[in-house]
């Protein structure tokens, strides 16, 4: 266990529900507790180690592909992840 606490904001949860992706988002939340730096870093990390990152949920079982933005904050302990945005993935590869 990594000791990371991952949570989904109300807005992101509502969006996932509207897209029929609640279970997919919960699975990602659990994955982020084990590996909080999935996906692509968006911009430089702050001096305190806080990172804004983006990852994808692949389309499956009637759920569209999704882009998920989250914030990883290592300090103060325990490290945390907050999933802040869920949007349909436009299919453009990340740079």
Q: Tell how many helices (H) and how many strands (E) occur in the chain.
A: 2, 5
pLDDT of residue 57: 93
Prediction pTM value: 0.89
Q: How many CB atoms lie within 10 A of CB 81?
A: 25
pLDDT tens for 25-84 read 999 999 999 999 999 999 999 999 999 999 999 998 888 899 999 999 999 999 999 999
Beta carbons of 69 and 54 less than 8 angstroms apart: yes
pLDDT of residue 1: 47
Q: Which is nearest to 88 in space by CA: 33, 34, 24, 36? A: 24
pLDDT of residue 28: 97
Phi/psi region, residue 11 (left: phi>0; alpha: psi -120 to 50; beta: rest), is alpha
């Amino acid at each position: 266990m990594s000791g990371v606490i991952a949570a989904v904001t109300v807005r992101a949860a509502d969006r996932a529900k509207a897209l029929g992706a609640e279970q997919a988002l919960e699975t990602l939340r659990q994955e982020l507790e084990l590996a909080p730096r999935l996906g692509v870093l968006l911009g430089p990390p702050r001096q305190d180690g806080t990172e804004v990152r983006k990852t994808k949920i692949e389309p499956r079982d009637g759920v569209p592909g999704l882009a998920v933005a989250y914030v990883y904050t290592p300090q103060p302990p325990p490290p945390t992840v907050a999933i802040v945005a869920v949007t349909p993935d436009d299919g453009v590869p990340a740079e």
